[in-house]
Amino acid sequence: MSTQRSVLVTGGAAGIGLAIATGFAAQGHRVLLADISESVHAAAERLNTPNAPVHGHVTDVGDEAQLLALARRVQALFGGCDILVNCAGVSAKRNGQPIPPVEVRTADWQRVLGINLTAPFVLSRELIPGMRERRFGRIVNITSRAGRTFVAPAGIDYAASKAGLIGLTRHLAGTYAGDGITVNCVAPGRVETALSSLSSPEIIAAAAKAIPMGRLGTTEEIAACVLFLASEQASYVTGVCLDANGGVFMG
């Protein structure tokens, strides 16, 4: 590792977020994990080392006041944030099935967009000024194949939030490209996580069959994409949506 960076990962207690945090910690970076689950503290403790500290912070990213507190926490711990990974996300389901668009309640719509889209905006807004001062920043947003094309098992609220996240990514990338800041996103297809397991076994089996590679992805494979986009080697890459889906969508 050439330079130790300060990293904030939301949704970091499990799944893709934990795999991403594990990768950064292994590279010797300082990491703050944020998650709504109290288990984020145990996850941070497992990754923590004297030379590369990892901290946990319980945060509901659907609550703006808690997001602002999170931004202050990373500032207090590390003096700022060099790398922001917006991974926290939710998807509204009913008995493992997507809710038909005409039956989605406005409250559910607002909750999903608040967590999946508004939270990345708020954290980016709060942390970009410090990145501009340091002339270095990496923002990686975890979107979805459902934000790239029609995916029947995804709800309309989830699809809209993830498509919006791609638009947010491109706008930030274009705006701050001259400030040493890159903004990219990774769009996973089906990955073995707690969120994907909310779908019925029939949907999961059908999804695997439709993937050219014939299997679901792993959290480590998605983390590898994020680690590259956040690295020094990706300094000329910005505004990109990296599809990691085993070939099921080639946009």
Which residues participate in catalysis according to the annotation? 158
How far apart, in whole angstroms, are the C-alpha atoms of residue 108 and residue 206?
Answer: 27
How far apart, in whole angstroms, are the C-alpha atoms of residue 88 and residue 161?
Answer: 12
- CA-angle at 15, arms to 50 and 151, nearest 5°: 150
Residue the block writes with tokens 């949704």: 11
User: What's the sign of the alpha-carbon dihedral 75, 119, 224, 232?
Assistant: negative
How far apart, in whole angstroms, are the C-alpha atoms of residue 237 and residue 219?
Answer: 22
Six-digit token string for 158 = 């989830």
DSSP-H helix ranges across 27-154: 40-47, 64-78, 106-113, 119-134
Six-digit token string for 235 = 């300094």
Q: How many CB atoms lie within 10 A of CB 96?
A: 14
Q: Where are the beta strands (DSSP E) in the chain?
A: 6-10, 30-35, 54-58, 83-86, 93-94, 97-98, 137-142, 181-188, 241-244
The DSSP bridge pattern shows strands 97-98 and 93-94 to be: antiparallel
Instruction: Give the residues across from 83 on adjacent strands.
Output: 7, 138
Amino acid letter, 249: F
